[in-house]
Chains A and B, each alone.
Chain A
Amino acid sequence: MIQSDADILWNRKLGPMYFHLGLSLRGFEQAVPGQFITLRAQRQQSPLLRRPFSIHRLIQADNRVQGIEILYRTAGDCTRYLSTLAPGEKVNILGPLGNGFSLPDSGRIFLVAGGIGVAPMVFLAETLRQKSHPSEITIFLGGRTQTDLLCQKAFLDLGLRLELSTDDGSTGHQGLVTDLLKKHLTETKAHGIYACGPMPMLAAVAGLARSHAVPCQVSIETIMACGMGVCLGCALDDQVITDKYRHVCIDGPVFDAATLKFDN
């Protein structure tokens, strides 16, 4: 874990509410997919706290990790301010934090992302791609409308199979991303599912994984203050997880879906 100022290399708008941030930063050689950072951009005292973001990708050059990429959605004062920053300005980064995804040895892998939940999936897909044949990895992207389906080019460039769904049917299947997952799980034996997105989606993915007996890991987002296991503010209770008061920052953010509670 390091704390460091990082130069903004780029801060590009990807759609109505989405931005792609590139940061020049050392100290992330050991970072793994699923880990996160906390970021503080503002000098003033409100908003007060750092904000957690998944590591979207590592920036590599000359066989070294030269920085990290963040994918974010403008949701509040912090991210709106972040979206106004230009290349050359600095943000303060703490990371890498938390536990990443455990990677499988082999077999067919399904990645499931809802909206901005796609953020950790590109780093994960790139890492999986080093061991697995691209035809064994399928990414399911879901969102409200077509502009919520991010990173399609990155996944296609890796040669992965892409399955798309939108609530309004503007792209791909009209309905839930878990409809597509259910269909594929019925047709094909999968060896691992990795999911990130809203809690109802994660609960549905966890339920499907259990009924098809497929190991599944989910990345969970909560409000947090410190990101490093000292404030204990990011606790999950027994409505979410079987073993109550796990902390998203140090016990997660990636959890075994078998420990998640789900309705269906």
Chain B
Amino acid sequence: MNTINNNFIPDLSVDIAGMHLKNPIMTASGTFGYGEEFKDVVDLNLLGAIIVKGLSLAPAPGNKPPRIVETACGMLNAIGLENVGIEAFVRDKLPFLKKLSTPMVANIYGKTIDEYVGLAARIDDVDGISAIEVNISCPNVKAGGVAFGVDPRSVYQVVSAVRKASQKPLIIKLSPNVSDIATIAQRAEEGGADALSLINTITGMAIDIHTRKPKLANITGGLSGPAIKPIALRMVWQAVNAVKIPVIGIGGIVSAEDALEFFIAGASAVQIGTANFMNPSATIEILEGLTRYLKSNNMATLRNLYGTLVL
């Protein structure tokens, strides 16, 4: 007979990038707004961390529509990092987030190293921002973003420049659109990253066969959702083996089982992205699923599962 010991509460907590998290469930930037949007359907205090929409120095209008298209088990987006800008974020969005017990991570992106440095310096002494996630991997912004993320030298340059500008923990968000993720991960670590997060979306494309036009105005976009999970898992595993700092897994996680695969591969936390669109309560349901898994396997702490891939 299978007996489940319900007399203990499994420990899901994890220390990562200088933050103590109640659990390893984070929200992926760009899929959770500025947090407040979800307050009616998610108890935000239950989350491990909230990562907000990517912020730039000036407000950004984003790309022309159509910006999204659904594909098999996934979606392509080319939003173009539309956001309110760092000043409006600090003034209008941060006060709500500061009231939560959940740490908040500001995701930043620039078109030049100076812009990244400017953003990091601007929020370095701002209370309520527990860490900075540096997006060097967005595929949808021209003349920046991805250009930094695909070249190991520029990865080192941008990370070390941001490192000098900020005392806050730095999470570097990596692009999957590279041939050697291990080298990129190592350059980010050498530049001073406290943690890595990957993967961002995979550059993709869809065509309307009747008009023969791209389905996205931007022509190409970033593929996300369950379709990319095997690629994400492979790259997280490669990054874990290449660096000593913690790795945060992202890519197509819609269930606790998906998240568990990333932990076994060595991820210290995960981010939930497109699943928030499919099911706004996905983060909480995944959290509940993790607790059930630990209880049914009589495991006291989730950390004991990290990096236990059997080869």
Contact = CB atoms under 8 A, between A and B. Distances in A.
A233 interface: yes
B75 A49 contact: yes
Interface in B267-311: 274, 276-281
Contact of A94 (B30, B75, B79, B280): B280
B220 to A, nearest CB: 15
B18 interface: no
A233 B70 contact: no
A231 B73 contact: no
Contacts, number: 91
Interface residues of A, number: 29
A231 B65 contact: no
Nearest to A250: B37
Interface string B1-39: 000000000000000000000000000001111000110
B225 interface: yes
Contacts of A232: 62, 67, 79, 82
A230 B37 contact: yes
A230 B75 contact: no
A223 B68 contact: yes
Contact of B40 (A2, A224, A234): A2
A237 B33 contact: no
B94 to A, nearest CB: 17
A162 interface: no
Contact of A50 (B30, B33, B225, B278): B278
A235 B277 CA distance: 16
Query: A48, A49, A228, A244 — which one has the most chain B CB atoms within 10 A of its CB?
Result: A48
A230 B29 CA distance: 10
Interface string A220-251: 00111110111111111100000011000000
Contacts of B82: 232, 235, 245
Interface stretch (A39-47, A182-190, A210-218): A39-47
Contact of B254 (A45, A244, A245): A45
B72 interface: yes
B271 to A, nearest CB: 14
B153 interface: no
Interface in B179-229: 225-226
B230 interface: no
Interface in A1-22: 1-3
B121 interface: no
A46 B69 CA distance: 13
Contacts of A233: 67-68, 77, 79
A96 B74 CA distance: 25
Interface residues of B, number: 35
A245 B61 contact: yes
B70 A49 contact: yes
A224 B67 CA distance: 9
Contacts of A234: 65, 67-68
A233 B33 CA distance: 12
Given A48-B74, A229-B37, A235 B67 contact: yes
A230 B32 contact: yes
Contacts of A146: none
A98 to B, nearest CB: 13
Contact of B277 (A1, A3, A50): A50
A207 to B, nearest CB: 22
Contact of B75 (A1, A225, A245): A225
B225 A47 contact: no
Contact of A48 (B30, B31, B61, B225): B225
A236 B31 CA distance: 19
A244 B32 CA distance: 23
A92 interface: yes
A226 B67 contact: no
A228 B79 contact: no
B132 to A, nearest CB: 20
7 contacts: A48-B75, A225-B68, A225-B75, A228-B37, A233-B79, A234-B68, A235-B65
Interface of A: 1-3, 40, 45-50, 92, 94, 222-226, 228-237, 244-245
